[in-house]
A and B are shown apart, each in its own frame.
Chain A
Amino acid sequence: QKEVEQNSGPLSVPEGAIASLNCTYSDRVSQSFFWYRQYSGKSPELIMSIYSNGDKEDGRFTAQLNKASQYVSLLIRDSQPSDSATYLCAVNRGAGNQFYFGTGTSLTVIP
């Protein structure tokens, strides 16, 4: 079983819609959770971090964490074509700075 799993997509949503990206992780001791955005040919860019159960909002982005279900999600409201990218979920189990990444979900926002 992989440490972090994501649906590879592709996920397509119309402009202005809500995009919902999901991630599950296998190790219950995981403590920190992150979402990165990666445009084609570029390196990953950190967009959200979440550490406690519940929701965390930052602009159009909301991260949701449910440790009991070992589930992390990212909602993108009012999706824009510029949001078209691959979104990577990452988990830190807390043993130093060793992060595990999912393989990413490709999102396309259709104008």
Chain B
Amino acid sequence: KAGVTQTPRYLIKTRGQQVTLSCSPISGHRSVSWYQQTPGQGLQFLFEYFSETQRNKGNFPGRFSGRQFSNSRSEMNVSTLELGDSALYLCASIWGGLQFFGPGTRLTVL
């Protein structure tokens, strides 16, 4: 099976802009989680989707949102970007309680 794919892999934006990141989970996996990883904070949970429904949400401001489509692909959106949003954004495909990460999207906010 193909692994988790994330697009784009790298992104440079300026403050105030918005960004949309995409994730395609492993075929057959219906649950997807998103994480933000920064050197200072480590991996922080953003949200989890299962069958198009958000089941869990981390402690991030409302500027961070997501959705999941009927084919299990997921997108996350960050509006009004801030410098502190620069991070590696990781998507994980979940099956049987096990998480498998995609390669991530490296977002730089200037």
Contact = CB atoms under 8 A, between A and B. Distances in A.
**Is B a genuine binding partner of A?**
yes
B99 A43 contact: no
B48 A46 contact: no
Contacts, number: 58
B98 A43 contact: no
Tell me the interface secondary structure of chain B in the complex.
strand
B42 A43 contact: no
Interface stretch (B12-20, B61-69, B77-85, B101-109): B101-109
A97 B43 CA distance: 15
A103 interface: yes
15 contacts: A43-B90, A43-B104, A49-B97, A49-B98, A88-B43, A92-B97, A95-B56, A97-B31, A97-B56, A97-B97, A97-B99, A99-B33, A99-B45, A102-B42, A103-B41
Interface of B: 31, 33, 35, 41-45, 48, 50, 55-56, 58, 88, 90, 94, 97-104
